[in-house]
A and B are shown apart, each in its own frame.
Chain A
Amino acid sequence: MAKTPSPQELWNIDHKPPKKWWMDLPLNIRPGNFSYPAKPQILKELDMPNPRPWSPLDEDWKLPPNWKEIVLEGIRERLDKFRTFKVFMDICVRCGACADKCHFFIGSGDPRNMPVLRAELLRSIYRGEFTKAGKLLGRFGGARELTVDVIKEWFHYFYQCTECRRCSVFCPYGIDTAEITMLGREILNLLGLNINWIMEPVRNCFKIGNHLGIQPHSLKDMVDFFIDDIEEVTGVRIEVPFMKKGAEVLFVTPSGDYFADPGTYTFMGYLMLFHEIGLDYTMSYYAAEGGNFGLFSSNENMKRLNAKIYAEAKRLGVKWILGGECGHMWRVINQFMDTMNGPADFLEVPKSPITGTVFENARSTKMVHITEFTSDLIKHGKLNLDPSRNDHLKVTFHDSCNPVRAMGLLEEPRYVIKNVCNNFYEMPEDTIREKTFCCGSGSGLNNDEFMEMRMRGGLPRANAVQYVHDKHDVNTLACICAIDRAALTTLMNYWVPDVTVYGVHELVANALVMKGEKKRTTDLRQMPIPGMEDAEDV
Chain B
Amino acid sequence: MDRAALPFVAVIALVITPLIGVGAISLHYLFGVIVPYVAALIFFAGFIMKVVNWGTSPVPFRIPTTCGQQKSLPWFKHSKLENPVTGIQVIGRMFLEVVFFRSLFRNLKPEIRGGPRIVYGPTKWLWFFALMFHWCFFIIFFRHLRLFTEPVPGVVTFVDRIDSMFQICIPPIYLTDLGLLLGITCLFLRRVIVPQVRYLSLPSDYFPLFLIIGIAVTGMLMRYVIRVDIIKVKELALSLAAFSPKVPQGIGVIFYTHLFLVCVLAMYFPFSKLMHLGGVFMSPTRNLANNNRIVRHINPWNPKVKLHPYEEWEDEFRDKLLDAGIPVEKKG
Knowing A83-B282, A111-B196, A364-B293 touch, does A412 contact B327 (C-beta < 8 A)? no
Which residues of the other chain, A, contact B285 by a CB distance below 8 angstroms? 84, 168, 174-176, 179
Of B50, B71, B298, B313, most A-chain CB atoms within 10 Å = B313
Give the contacts of B274-320 with A (CB-CB under 8 A): 275-276, 278-280, 282-286, 290, 292-299, 301-303, 305-310, 313-314, 316-317, 320
Task: Give CA–CA (A415, B76) in the complex, Å.
Answer: 9
Give the distance in Å from the alpha carbon of A175 to the alpha carbon of B104 in the complex: 12
Docked-complex contact B197 and A132, CB < 8 angstroms: no
Specify the chain B residue showing the minimal Cβ separation from A415: B76
Q: Chain A 407-433 against B: per-residue CB contact (8 Å), 1 yes, 0 no? A: 111111001000000000000101101
Contacts of B276 in A (CB 8 A): 91-93, 172-173
A526 interfacial by beta-carbon distance below 8 Å: no
Residues on B with C-beta less than 8 A from A511 are: none
B326 adjacent to A311 (CB under 8 Å): no
Chain A residues within an 8 Å CB radius of B279? 87, 90-91, 173
Q: A83-B54, A94-B201, A415-B76 are in contact. Are A169 and B106 (CB under 8 A)?
A: yes
A407 touches B290 (CB 8 A): yes
Complex Cα distance, B317 from A86, in Å, reads 45
CA A173 – CA B307 in complex, angstroms? 36
B28–chain A nearest beta-carbon distance, Å: 30
Which residues of the other chain, A, contact B112 by a CB distance below 8 angstroms? Answer: 13, 15
- Taking CB atoms and an 8 Å cut-off, the chain B residues in 42-100 that contact chain A are 50, 53-63, 65-73, 75-77, 79, 82-83, 97
Would B293 and A365 count as touching, CB distance under 8 A?
A: yes
On chain A, the residues within 8 Å of B284 by CB distance are 83-84, 87, 174
| Closest CB in chain A relative to B266 CB, distance in Å | 15
Taking a contact as CB atoms under 8 Å apart, the answer to whether A312 and B104 are in contact is no
Bound-state Cα–Cα, A435 to B108, Å: 10
Is the C-beta of A285 less than 8 angstroms from some C-beta in chain B? Answer: yes
* Residue numbers in B under 8 Å from A72 (CB-CB): none
Stretch in A189-197, A334-342, A385-393, A478-486 touching the partner:
A334-342
A81-129: which residues lie under 8 A (CB-CB) from chain B? 81-88, 90-97, 99-101, 106, 111, 114, 116-117, 120
- B106: chain A residues within 8 A (beta carbon): 169-170, 435
A261 / chain B contacts, CB cutoff of 8 Å: none
**In the complex the two chains form, what is the Cα distance from A404 to B101 in whole Å?**
21
Q: Contact check, A85 vs B57: say whether CB atoms are below 8 A apart.
A: yes
Contact A173 B309 (CB under 8 A): no
Q: Is B323 an interface residue (CB 8 A)?
A: yes
Q: Knowing A87-B282, A361-B71, say if A81 contacts B292 (CB, 8 Å).
A: no
Within 8 A of A (CB), among B221-260: none
Q: Closest CB-CB distance, B92 to chain A, in whole Å?
A: 15
Does B130 make an interface contact (CB < 8 A)?
A: yes
CA distance A359 to B71 in the complex (A): 10
Tell me if A16 counts as interface (CB < 8 A to partner B): yes
Query: Which residues of A in the span 321-344 have a Cβ within 8 Å of any Cβ on B?
Result: 333-336, 338-340, 342-343
Stretch at the interface among A30-38, A61-69, A372-380: A372-380
Which of A148-156, A213-221, A273-281, A450-458 is near enough to bind chain B? A213-221
B271 on the interface (CB 8 Å rule)? yes
B29 contacts A by Cβ under 8 Å: no
Q: Which of B54, B109, B305 contacts A87 (CB 8 A)?
A: B54
Inter-subunit contact B57/A79 (CB<8 Å): yes
- A384–chain B nearest beta-carbon distance, Å: 20
Contact assessment for A300 and B101 in the assembled complex, using a CB-CB cutoff below 8 Å: no
Does A405 lie within 8 Å of B306, measured CB to CB?
A: no
Query: Most chain-B CB neighbours within 10 Å: which of A86, A111, A357, A435?
Result: A86
CB pair B200–A96 under 8 Å, yes or no, is yes
A216/B326 contact (C-beta < 8 A), A141-B204, A334-B292, A408-B70 known: yes
Interface-facing stretch out of A248-256, A440-448, A459-467, A529-537? A459-467
Name which residue of chain B comes closest to A367, CB basis. B293
Contact B308–A357 (Cβ < 8 Å): no
Asked, given contacts A169-B65, A304-B307, A408-B79, whether A428 binds B120 with beta carbons under 8 Å apart, the answer is yes
CB atoms of B109 and A100 under 8 A apart: yes
B326/A315 in contact, CB under 8 A = no
A176 touches B63 (CB 8 A): yes
From A242, A304, A360, B326 is in contact (CB under 8 Å) with A242
Give the CA-CA distance A331 to B251 in the complex, in Å: 61
User: Does the CB pair A300–B305 fall under 8 Å?
Assistant: yes
Q: What's the nearest-Cβ distance from chain A to residue B299, in Å?
A: 5
Verify if B170 is at the interface (C-beta below 8 Å from A): no
The complex places the Cα of A139 from the Cα of B290 at a distance, in Å, of 39
Residues of B within 8 A of A257 (CB): none
Please give me the 9 A-B residue pairs with the lowest Cβ-Cβ distance, nearest first.
A408-B70, A91-B279, A174-B285, A17-B199, A217-B324, A430-B120, A408-B66, A174-B286, A96-B197
Q: A170-B106, A300-B303, A435-B108 are in contact. List 16 more A-B contacts (CB 8 A).
A: A11-B116, A15-B196, A21-B3, A91-B273, A169-B103, A176-B63, A179-B285, A217-B324, A285-B321, A285-B326, A299-B303, A315-B310, A338-B296, A360-B294, A361-B293, A433-B68
A-B contact pairs, 21 of them (CB 8 A): A11-B116, A83-B57, A84-B283, A86-B53, A87-B283, A92-B276, A94-B200, A94-B273, A172-B101, A172-B104, A179-B285, A243-B326, A308-B310, A311-B310, A333-B293, A343-B296, A367-B293, A404-B66, A409-B72, A411-B76, A463-B116
Could you tell me which A residues sit within 8 Å of B by CB distance? Answer: 11, 13, 15-17, 21-22, 47, 79-88, 90-97, 99-101, 106, 111, 114, 116-117, 120, 131-133, 137, 140-142, 165, 168-176, 179, 206-207, 209, 215-217, 220, 242-243, 245, 285-286, 299-300, 303-304, 307-308, 311-312, 315, 333-336, 338-340, 342-343, 357, 359-365, 367, 372, 375-376, 379, 404-412, 415, 428, 430-431, 433-435, 459-460, 463-464, 466-467
